[in-house]
Amino acid sequence: MLKRFTFVGMLVFIVLGIALLTSCTLFGPEPLPNQPVNDSTKLEPNDPRYVADLLADDELESILDELQQVVPSSTFQAFTKSLNGFKLLEDEEFDPSEILNILEKHKTYIEKIEKFLDEGARRFYTHPDRQKYIVEIQGERKDKIVALAKKIKPEITEPDKLYMDFRDFSVAYNALSSLYHSYQSALQAEELVEAWRNVMRSSQNQFKSPIIIDEAENNLYYFLMGILIEDFDGIKEHFGKLTAIANPKDLLNMADIFVEEPFKITRVNKTLDALKWSVMSFLEIGDFENNTSIVDDKGFRKDGKETIVTLFVKAAGSEKCFIAKEALNQPVDLGGFKLNGNVPQKVKDVLVEFNKALPNAGVIEFTNDATTTFENSKGKSEYSYKVIVTLDFRKLYKDSIDLRDNNIGIRKAFVDTVFKDKQSYENFKKLFTGEREPTIDDVRLIVNNLPFIYISEDLANNPEFALKFQLNNNGNLNDPMIKIELRVKAMFTEVIPSAFKREITRYMIREKLKELIEQKK
């Protein structure tokens, strides 16, 4: 009996030890810190109250002043009043490099935001009692936040007490997150632009390009030249050398030709986390504003407490303080697209679906069935088509994504067959000049060797042609993370030629115009 009690006692001791070591309790998560923030309070990024530090930081005021010079005035007002909505800087048309130039000077502040997003925001949005949260902001932090409101309306009355509740935290989070991700987007855009500038600088050096891997440069150049001059032996020789460095060996794709850097998107999982919390918080602000025990019929707190949001809303001259309640019920038009099989009626319907899928829990699929007209050898014909866009967040949730890892590629068997000799090449071209009808062998040659094309083998009764683009999950063609697909109920030889001819004609006209302009200079 004593041994049994000793064993139970040891078990309880171990469980309690683990709980203490992991800073947890056996009775639920640790409460969110809600002690008033005053001048003697030292805040860390893992504390949700750190928002007050970020809003009261002199660097934020400096950033806003500088942004006012480059961002359209309407956008700047929307951002400084972003307590009236979830406005992203990147929604507007302006040069991302200007944003980068401003924020690069405030990297320390951006790093503070990053730490807060990674720690304090995660702690807040994973806590079950977040909607009940409220804390008082005092001292210098309060004064600086009020000063920001006075930038909108200098004569605004300063409240005796200022609070931050769930709605304030969520709106501030979205404003700061937008600023941070605008910086990251501008940084990646600048890196991509610089990579392409390098391409243009090196374009006079034959086919030398810093974005093409060394092993592929010469062979790619001579392969393309071979197609232009119909050098079939050269085509097969240099394509064979390209596929020799490919992985898999029989398929040449973008990853075999281009270097990784310009095509790499980083911090994808953290971006999806931020998107999840933005969507979730907007929906929860709607719940908050529908809670008649907390807010009145105009959206202000029933207990009369002045919060950051209500202060800024008053500064903006609004008589209502609804951030999400009315917006969620606005009608939405996706241009005929269905979302996960249904036609959403309201903004809330769209956000609910994304909230279920983000950050790594499910799939979003947009579909649209419609009709269009193509011009072919028989004249104009109407065809039905379907567009499918699929986002699988379960697979997208990773630290980085390589845009080269897609289904745009050519298998060696296609080149060996089509460019076997001049007769084979001419015979293949006849498919698109209407000189012969496609056969099952033609269909299989294309489908089996061009992963971005699908053609139904039932050519007589159920002709269907599809163009597909997808980002693969870890190089697997059968496991897409993102897929964009256009399916047309038509014979592929009826659809492709007119589209190709139209684009080729446009290109030739543009080039001819360039020649004429150069001659007149």
**Per-residue model confidence as pLDDT tens digits over 390-401:** 999 999 999 999
Higher-confidence residue of 210 and 119: namely: 119
Which of 60, 39, 216 lies closest to 140 in space, CA to CA? 39
Residue 78 has pLDDT above 50, yes or no: no
Distance CA 292, CA 273 (A): 30
Give the lowest-confidence range in 114-128, 207-221, 224-238, 401-415: 207-221
Percent of the chain at pLDDT above 70?
A: 80
Check whether the bond before 210 is cis (ω within 30° of 0): no
Residue 86 has pLDDT above 90, yes or no: no
Percent of the chain at pLDDT above 90?
A: 53
Higher-confidence residue of 208 and 193: namely: 193
pLDDT confidence of residue 340: 97
pLDDT confidence of residue 511: 52
Is residue 467 within a helix (H) or strand (E), and if so which, with residue range?
Answer: strand 465-473
Contacts of 195 (CB under 8 A, 6+ apart): 210, 211, 261, 262
Indicate the Cα dihedral angle 124, 128, 132, 136, nearest 10°.
-30
Torsion sign across C-alpha atoms 168, 170, 175, 179 = positive
pLDDT confidence of residue 376: 60
Give the lowest-confidence range in 22-26, 213-217, 226-230, 262-266: 22-26
Quick one: tokens of 418?
């089509």
Q: What is the mean pLDDT of residues 481-490?
A: 93
Higher-confidence residue of 284 and 508: namely: 284
Residue 334 has pLDDT above 60, yes or no: yes
Torsion sign across C-alpha atoms 297, 302, 308, 312 = positive
**Identity of the residue numbered 245:** I
Distance CA 346, CA 325 (A): 12
Which of 69, 64, 18 lies closest to 312 in space, CA to CA? 64
The angle formed by the CA atoms of residues 242, 247 and 249, to the nearest 5 degrees, is: 60
SS3 135: strand
Neighbouring C-alpha atoms within 13 Å toward the C-beta of 98: 13
Residue 364 has pLDDT above 90, yes or no: yes
pLDDT confidence of residue 241: 87
Asked if 309 and 83 touch (Cβ cutoff 8 Å), the reply is yes
Q: What is the mean pLDDT of residues 171-181?
A: 93
Asked if 255 and 99 touch (Cβ cutoff 8 Å), the reply is no
Q: What is the mean pLDDT of residues 413-418?
A: 91
Q: What is the mean pLDDT of residues 42-54?
A: 96
pTM: 0.81
242-280 as b/e: b if 16+ CB within 10 A? bbeebeeeebbbebbbbbeebbeeeebbbbbbbbbbbbb
Asked if 308 and 166 touch (Cβ cutoff 8 Å), the reply is no
Give the lowest-confidence range in 81-85, 266-270, 510-514: 81-85
pLDDT confidence of residue 90: 39
Which residues make beta-bridge pairs with 264? 402
Higher-confidence residue of 220 and 396: namely: 396
Phi, psi for 513 (deg, rounded to 5): -60, -40
pLDDT confidence of residue 211: 78
Checking DSSP bridges between strand 251-253 and strand 264-266, what pairing results, if any? unpaired
Residue 127 has pLDDT above 60, yes or no: yes
Phi, psi for 253 (deg, rounded to 5): -130, -175
Residue 271 has pLDDT above 60, yes or no: yes
Q: Per-residue confidence at 96, pLDDT binned at 50, 70, 90?
A: low
Distance CA 191, CA 211 (A): 12
pLDDT confidence of residue 195: 64
Quick one: tokens of 247?
């992985």
Contacts of 439 (CB under 8 A, 6+ apart): none
Indicate the Cα dihedral angle 134, 137, 141, 146, nearest 10°.
90
Give the lowest-confidence range in 86-95, 169-178, 263-272, 402-411: 86-95
Higher-confidence residue of 289 and 521: namely: 289
Q: What is the mean pLDDT of residues 219-242?
A: 86
pLDDT confidence of residue 492: 72
pLDDT confidence of residue 77: 47
Give the position of tokens 């990853």: 255
Q: Per-residue confidence at 92, pLDDT binned at 50, 70, 90?
A: very low
Distance CA 217, CA 202 (A): 13
Residue 494 has pLDDT above 70, yes or no: no
**Identity of the residue numbered 75:** T
Q: Per-residue confidence at 95, pLDDT binned at 50, 70, 90?
A: low
Residue 423 has pLDDT above 80, yes or no: yes
Residue 430 has pLDDT above 50, yes or no: yes
SS3 390: strand
Give the lowest-confidence range in 100-114, 300-314, 427-441: 427-441
Distance CA 200, CA 415 (A): 29
pLDDT confidence of residue 51: 96
Average pLDDT of the chain?
A: 83
